[in-house]
A and B are shown apart, each in its own frame.
Chain A
Amino acid sequence: MTTNAFLPDDLSAEMDRLGRRKYAEIGVPMYLVLEDLTGNPAEKGSHDGDTQLAVAFSEAISRVEAEKGDIEVADIARVIEVLADRTFLDRPFSELSDEESPET
């Protein structure tokens, strides 16, 4: 049962579906956290993070951990990939690769 609008009902199936694609020839949305190592004081506490994303990520990781028993780096990457695929646009980014080309 989905409790978070960012996540699919069957998270594992969606992770598997995305993972089966030909990564060498497609675009893969990802979220990256920007981190400042310069010691610039303006950075500290002055950014709004993405709380909804953080909540969805935590829930997704809990679901994967409950199913698999442990979490690997690849699982973390794939969870973020699922979240990015479903939240960058108003529909899944991966759907764009399934469309027919427009008539010209």
Chain B
Amino acid sequence: MEGLYAFSVGLLTACGVFLTLRGRSFPVVVGITLLSYAVNLFLFSSGRLKMDGAAVLGASESYADPLPQALVLTAIVIGFAMTAFVLILAMRSRADLGNDHVDGRLPPPPKDQKKC
């Protein structure tokens, strides 16, 4: 099981990395989302994998490590905020620059606009 888990995390990371290396803003955002899944799973697993051991006192014999869970919980919510921020930034850059390139290949700006 651990091997399968680690493989999935590695795969998610690889897919996320590949997408963040694309030249347009939207795939980069999707890539970041994938990466954040991978990171959350990775951090979560630092408490080791355990089934049927929710950290609710009295619910089972032994418990899963609650600390990584608490950390990952806030990480998920903040990850959402960050994804949203990057996304809106992407939209804003399209609105202001007129394209969604992030590879530095900007078309020459119109004369009345200053280069950003």
Are the chains A and B members of one assembly?
A: no
